[in-house]
């Protein structure tokens, strides 16, 4: 696997990381369906053995369960890896809510560290903060203090829309921005990527497999478990994603790779991306995803085929 630098932090990671949202499980909804903790631990350890060094989680994933599993599975190999986690989804009260108060962030960080079994987090990210919080300078002052105290090595922000990342760069100096980037949602490359690169900001590409659809596993009649975020999607949206993914799958098979590997190679074709984080639930998924790093750049024919898929839109 190939290494890339996380912006200008001096932190180097293998270019394919481990997205740990799914292993948080289904107990509290906001998930990708049921999981088996033993298999999740096997997936983490398989990733380690395959050379993965970047693990991305959040305290809200499974209400701490993802962090706990990650900490347990890493054990004495903690210093061999880079851990990124997130804060802002306050699930400790009777009703979950957004919370970016500075006192809360300090408390949440300590609880994350306890679950991870670590004295520090490598990349601490604000988790989908509303725009109003980006105007609060005290929030970013706190992140700098946490760096000085050795609690975190780098600070970033996880967002949905590229414009949020552009606004964040204008208001403070994040070390990294985590943003949606995949075949279905390539828009971050237009303006955010060049700006981030010019400012030395790393890009963590989230949802590279488009919530699993770019694996080619889901058809237009796909059903999802209660608590799975995809269960509430309109049927026409599911059908559109399945149709587009089906065309991509055909293109992948023609060139001797799986649909997931082609989707990951598409993301990695952008030099601005520091690391891509596909969601992983099993050792088999870990092996498939990490092998994408060995496949090399996409040729012009493949890139043209992907652009044609994007041009058709499929109602997405």
Q: Do 179 and 203 form a contact (C-beta atoms < 8 A)? A: yes
Interior CA angle at 185 toward 213 and 219, to 5°?
20
d(CA 225, CA 131) in angstroms, rounded, equals 32
Active site residue 61: yes
Q: How far apart are CA 292 and CA 197, in angstroms?
A: 24
Cα angle 275-37-28, degrees, rounded to a multiple of 5: 85
C-alpha 2/C-alpha 293 separation (Å) is 7
Q: Which two tokens stand for residue 217?
A: 């596993």
Long-range contact set of residues 87-95: C-beta below 8 Å, sequence gap at least 24: 87/58, 87/59, 87/112, 87/124, 87/125, 87/126, 87/127, 88/60, 88/126, 88/127, 88/128, 88/129, 89/58, 89/59, 89/60, 89/127, 91/28, 91/59, 91/60, 91/63, 91/64
Q: Where are the alpha helices (DSSP H) in the chain?
A: 37-49, 65-74, 102-116, 131-134, 137-148, 162-171, 192-198, 235-254, 259-268, 283-291, 300-312
CA distance 95 to 298: 46
The CA-atom distances, in angstroms, between 297 and each of 2, 13, 92, 261 are 12, 18, 44, 11
Q: Which of 32, 61, 124, 181 is catalytic?
A: 61
Q: Is the dihedral of CA 90, 93, 94, 100 positive or negative?
A: negative
* Active site amino acids: 61
């Amino acid at each position: 696997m190939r290494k890339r630098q996380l912006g200008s932090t001096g932190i180097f990671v293998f270019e394919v990381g481990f997205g740990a949202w799914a292993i948080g499980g289904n107990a509290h909804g906001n998930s990708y369906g049921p999981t088996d903790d033993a298999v999740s631990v096997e997936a983490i350890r398989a990733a380690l053995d395959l050379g993965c060094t970047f693990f991305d989680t959040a305290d809200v994933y499974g209400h701490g369960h993802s962090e706990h599993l990650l900490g347990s599975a890493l054990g004495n190999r903690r210093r061999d890896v880079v851990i990124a986690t997130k804060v802002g989804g306050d699930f400790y009260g009777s009703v979950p809510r957004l919370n970016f108060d500075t006192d809360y962030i300090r408390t949440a960080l300590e609880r994350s560290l306890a679950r991870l079994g670590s004295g520090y987090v490598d990349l601490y990210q604000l988790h989908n903060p509303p725009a109003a919080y980006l105007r609060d300078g005290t929030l970013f002052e706190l992140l700098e203090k946490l760096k000085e105290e050795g609690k975190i090595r780098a600070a970033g922000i996880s967002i949905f829309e590229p414009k949020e990342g552009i606004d964040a760069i204008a208001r403070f100096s994040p070390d990294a921005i985590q943003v949606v980037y995949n075949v279905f949602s390539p828009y971050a490359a237009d303006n955010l990527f060049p700006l981030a690169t010019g400012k030395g900001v790393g890009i963590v590409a989230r949802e590279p497999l488009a919530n699993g659809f770019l694996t080619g596993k889901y058809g237009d009649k796909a059903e999802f478990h209660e608590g799975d975020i995809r269960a509430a999607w309109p049927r026409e949206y599911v059908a559109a994603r399945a149709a587009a993914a089906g065309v991509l799958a055909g293109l992948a098979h023609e060139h001797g790779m799986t649909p997931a590997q082609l989707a990951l190679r598409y993301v990695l074709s952008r030099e601005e991306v520091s690391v891509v984080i596909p969601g992983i639930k099993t050792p088999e998924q870990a092996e498939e995803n990490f092998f994408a790093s060995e496949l090399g750049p996409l040729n012009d024919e493949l890139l043209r085929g992907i652009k044609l898929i994007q041009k058709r839109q499929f109602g997405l």
